[in-house]
């Protein structure tokens, strides 16, 4: 692999993507639609993490909603504390604590809420809490060589547990409604149109940083090892590498990406609730990565945008058709297009572009698809 | 005296909670049996398992309406007819799904998981479009209503007992089928070594299809039994799927005895704790314990020693 971060082809792809989300969307959409796109883009963080973790590392996590949710909840706790100043909550029986605590007869701020009064602590917690959580899960599982479907089921179970816990502990977490009515960030009102506009750009810029980071991991030696681990784990282990540590690292990285997405979600949408943590949202996040192409970081962004856009417009006009479409999408993307949109682009559009520019077609992708890998292994 | 209760009251409460746990246990076992066949024996993750169960429940519901409308004489025993029909319907759908989808994905277990999740979404919406979003319940024949009083305080509902007996019979049937019949021997041979099983003349593709169909059929019967103790909605299957997978994994994926033992442990733990704390915390603690034990002992409680 060459030492440069991107081939020329990929630089163009990055430029196109950056132009799309930084120039085209803001220029053509009203603030309502732009805010919606910003919300979709927060899922792209999760999808990008899954591309690394699942597409490259072969670790399917059905619990990315955990990390998305933890990141989002950390941010929401800070915003909620700021919104529940004693002046704002003077009508409560205990002023100065979040409204849902007051409704549930909690009279004192729980000790683990107190550090979230500090903004620097919150920013650190957004990343650190989910990563530590991912480390505990990953270390317990990968050290014992639990992988594949067992890992998927257990992450799913943990997502379910966390959801039940959040809903059950209404007085401390806001319950099924989540943490709502968030107003200001350090005194800056996040509900105004101009704030939404600025947050959209912050979100987009962060996404591009995450994509660059992901690409740096992908082209490094570690990235090659990830693919080797996915395809022949034992051979990597016998070559003297610590497979478990690599897996833990990539799982934690994916968790960190998801957490950033979650925090940006809270900022842009203005609330956080358990409906973004559980089993169904977590598995939907996998489909964003799968539709975009499980091996393509840029594909993940397009996947998140297209699936969510389709979801919004379908649910607006034909709500009963959406689940059929979603189910069909799951089946189609697995059976017919295992490499998603990125794979289709590579096999159909790129040869066409190459013909137009009279260049030789690009060399085949270095990362074999799972289907091809299986075929190779079988031979 | 324990807390505010006398000893008699306390032991009665424990017995009642234990009985509630036994009903939960029956539901877990019925769901997990089909899953243990499909996941434990074939290694296929079927996320649509709950929807196969719901299909059985809807078949039972249709059957109860049909019987009341056209042949009321059969009403006292219609459950047995409904169960057979549920088995056939879910089994047939299972074989169709295996043929259309699963057989192409045997070497990609993670992809099977996603594809069957897609299938479960489609089936859920299908049920919603056909039967409506509201939950439906069947009417029980007279002999299944009411309860038996064991002591002054302890009463057990008859339909619960019936479901338990049914669970035992079905478990026994599956056990005989898997471990005492020629067909079960073929299934286990294919699981242990596909290539060799094929070499000695077993039609492995046919075995796969019938095994998958059987697992789904058992799920259908589970759904049919489920209607006796609860109502059925389009998304009821999804509520149980994670619990059921945990039951199967916790018991040791390839062991039927393990599945039953773990269903017993989990259901008893949950229903006993439900008495002492809120239902959601009981569930959280139970699941957390299971996940914790699985992290320490990933192979589950009971394992078969075999070469992979």
CA of B217 vs chain A CAs: smallest distance (Å): 22
Condensed to tens digits (0 to 9), the pLDDT of residues B174-204 reads: 888 888 888 888 888 888 888 888 898 888 8
Residues in chain B with CB shorter than 8 Å from the CB of A326 are 118, 121
C-alpha count within 13 angstroms, C-beta hemisphere, residue A68:
34
What would you measure as the largest C-alpha separation in chain B, in angstroms?
68
Q: Where are the beta strands (DSSP E) in chain A?
A: 184-185, 188-189
CB contact under 8 A, A164 and B119: no
CA of A379 vs chain B CAs: smallest distance (Å): 13
Give the Cα separation of A322 and A338 in Å (integer): 21
Condensed to tens digits (0 to 9), the pLDDT of residues B223-242 reads: 888 887 777 888 877 777 88
Q: Which residue has the tokens 């989300």?
A: A21
Element (H, E) at B189: helix B182-192
Condensed to tens digits (0 to 9), the pLDDT of residues A249-307 reads: 999 999 999 999 999 999 998 889 998 998 889 988 998 898 888 888 888 899 999 99
CB neighbour list of residue B124: distance below 8 Å, 6 or more residues apart: A323, B51, B234, B235, B237, B238
Q: Which residue has the tokens 């590498």?
A: A241
Classify strands B147-149 and A188-189 as parallel, antiparallel or unpaired.
Answer: unpaired
What residues 239-258 of chain A have any CB closer than 8 A to a CB of chain B? Answer: none
Low-confidence ranges of chain A (pLDDT < 70): 1-5, 358-379
Evaluate whether A185 touches A22 at the Cβ level (below 8 Å): no
Across B10-20, b (16+ Cβ under 10 Å) vs e yields ebbbeebbebb
CB contact under 8 A, B118 and A140: no
CB neighbour list of residue A231: distance below 8 Å, 6 or more residues apart: A58, A368, A373, A377
CB contact under 8 A, A335 and B115: yes
Domain ranges of chain A: 8-277
What residues 310-329 of chain A have any CB closer than 8 A to a CB of chain B? Answer: 320, 323-324, 326-329
pLDDT of residue A65: 92
**Interface contact A149, partner B, CB < 8 A:** yes
**Interface contact B124, partner A, CB < 8 A:** yes
pLDDT of residue B23: 80
Give the Cα separation of A259 and A125 in Å (integer): 10
CB neighbour list of residue B17: distance below 8 Å, 6 or more residues apart: B271, B272, B274, B275
pLDDT of residue A203: 92
Give the Cα separation of B244 and B287 in Å (integer): 11
CB neighbour list of residue B184: distance below 8 Å, 6 or more residues apart: B176, B177, B178
Q: How many beta-carbon pairs below 8 A join chains A and B?
A: 124
Give the Cα separation of A279 and B289 in Å (integer): 19
pLDDT of residue A377: 45
CB contact under 8 A, A164 and B113: no
Residues in chain B with CB shorter than 8 Å from the CB of A170 are none
CB contact under 8 A, A165 and B110: no
pLDDT of residue A374: 47
CB contact under 8 A, B115 and A330: yes
User: Which one of B113, B118, B123 has the shortest CB-CB distance to A149?
Assistant: B113
Mean pLDDT of B138-159: 73
β-sheet bridge partners, residue B147: B157
Q: By mean pLDDT, which of A251-265, B20-34, B46-60, B97-111 is the weakest?
A: B20-34
CA of A285: which chain B residue's CA is closest?
B114
What residues 130-189 of chain B have any CB closer than 8 A to a CB of chain A? Answer: none
**Interface contact A295, partner B, CB < 8 A:** no
Percent of chain B scored above 70 by pLDDT? 94
Give the Cα separation of A127 and A255 in Å (integer): 8
ipTM: 0.83
Domain ranges of chain B: 7-296
CA of B123 vs chain A CAs: smallest distance (Å): 8
**Interface contact B107, partner A, CB < 8 A:** yes
User: Which one of A145, A153, A323 has the shortest CB-CB distance to B125?
Assistant: A323
**Interface contact A160, partner B, CB < 8 A:** yes
Q: CA dist B80 to B23, B140, B166, B264, Å?
A: 19, 12, 11, 26
Evaluate whether A79 touches A180 at the Cβ level (below 8 Å): no
What would you measure as the largest C-alpha separation in chain A, in angstroms?
75
CA of B285: which chain A residue's CA is closest?
A161
CA of A161: which chain B residue's CA is closest?
B284
pLDDT of residue B9: 75
Residues in chain A with CB shorter than 8 Å from the CB of B235 are none
CB contact under 8 A, B298 and A150: yes
Average pLDDT, chain B: 83
Q: What is the DSSP letter of A364?
A: P
CB contact under 8 A, B280 and A60: no
């Amino acid at each position: 692999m060459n030492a440069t971060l991107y081939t020329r082809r990929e630089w163009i792809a990055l430029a196109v993507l950056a132009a799309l989300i930084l120039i085209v969307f803001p220029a053509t959409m009203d603030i309502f639609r732009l805010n919606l796109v910003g919300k979709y883009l927060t899922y792209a963080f999760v999808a990008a993490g899954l591309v690394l973790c699942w597409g490259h590392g072969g670790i399917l996590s059905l619990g990315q909603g955990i990390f998305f949710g933890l990141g989002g909840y950390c941010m929401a706790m800070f915003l909620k504390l700021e919104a529940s100043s004693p002046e704002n909550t003077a009508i409560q029986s205990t002023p100065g604590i979040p409204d849902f605590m007051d409704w549930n007869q909690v009279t004192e701020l729980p000790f683990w809420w107190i550090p979230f009064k500090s903004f620097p602590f919150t920013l650190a917690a957004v990343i650190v809490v989910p990563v530590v959580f991912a480390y505990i899960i990953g270390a317990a599982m990968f050290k014992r060589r639990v992988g594949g479907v067992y890992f998927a089921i257990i992450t799913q179970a943990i997502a379910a547990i966390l959801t039940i816990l959040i809903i059950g502990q209404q007085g401390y977490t806001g319950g099924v409604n989540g943490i709502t009515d968030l107003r200001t960030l350090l005194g800056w009102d996040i509900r105004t149109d101009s704030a939404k506009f600025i947050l959209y750009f912050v979100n987009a810029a962060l996404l591009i940083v995450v994509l660059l980071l992901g690409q740096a991991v992908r082209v490094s030696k570690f990235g090659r090892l990830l693919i080797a681990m996915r395809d022949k784990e034992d051979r990597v282990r016998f070559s003297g590498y610590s497979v478990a540590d690599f897996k833990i690292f990539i799982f934690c990285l994916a968790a960190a990406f998801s957490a950033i997405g979650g925090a940006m979600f809270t900022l842009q949408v203005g609330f956080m609730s358990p409906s973004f943590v559980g089993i169904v949202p977590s598995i939907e996040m996998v489909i964003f990565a799968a539709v975009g192409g499980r091996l393509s970081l840029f594909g993940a962004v397009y996947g998140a945008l297209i699936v969510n856009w389709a979801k919004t417009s379908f649910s607006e006009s034909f709500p009963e058709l959406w689940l059929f479409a979603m189910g069909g999408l799951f089946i189609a993307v697995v059976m017919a297009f295992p490499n998603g949109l990125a794979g289709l682009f590579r096999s159909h559009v790129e040869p066409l572009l190459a013909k137009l520019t009279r260049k030789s077609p690009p060399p085949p992708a270095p990362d074999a698809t799972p289907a091809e890998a299986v075929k190779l292994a079988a031979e | 005296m324990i807390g505010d209760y006398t000893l008699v009251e306390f032991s009665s409460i424990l017995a009642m909670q234990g009985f509630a746990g036994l009903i939960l246990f029956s539901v877990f076992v019925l769901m997990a049996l089909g899953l243990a066949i499909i996941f434990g024996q074939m290694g296929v993750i079927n996320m649509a398992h709950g929807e196969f169960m719901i299909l059985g429940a809807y078949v039972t519901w249709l059957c109860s309406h049909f019987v009341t409308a056209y042949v009321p004489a059969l009403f006292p025993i219609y459950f047995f007819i409904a169960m057979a029909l549920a088995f056939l319907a879910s089994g047939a759908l299972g074989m169709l799904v295996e043929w259309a989808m699963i057989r192409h994905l045997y070497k990609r277990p993670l992809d099977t998981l996603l594809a069957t999740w897609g299938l479960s979404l489609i089936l859920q919406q299908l049920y919603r479009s056909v039967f409506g979003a509201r939950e439906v319940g069947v009417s029980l024949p007279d002999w299944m209503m009411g309860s038996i009083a064991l002591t002054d305080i302890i009463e057990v509902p008859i339909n619960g007992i019936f479901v338990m007996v049914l669970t035992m019979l079905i478990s026994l049937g599956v056990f005989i089928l898997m471990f005492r019949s020629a067909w079960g021997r073929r299934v286990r041979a294919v699981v242990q070594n596909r290539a060799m099983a094929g070499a000695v003349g077993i039609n492995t593709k046919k075995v796969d299809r019938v095994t998958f169909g059987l697992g789904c059929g058992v799920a259908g019967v589970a759904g049919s039994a489920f209607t006796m103790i609860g109502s059925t909605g389009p998304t009821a299957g999804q509520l149980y799927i994670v619990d059921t997978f945990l039951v199967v994994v916790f018991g040791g994926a390839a062991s039927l005895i393990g599945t039953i033992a773990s269903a017993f442990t989990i259901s008893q733990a949950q229903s006993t704790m439900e008495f002492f704390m809120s239902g959601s915390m009981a569930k959280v603690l139970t699941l957390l314990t299971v996940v914790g034990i699985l992290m320490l002992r990933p192979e589950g409680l009971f394992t078969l020693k075999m070469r992979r």
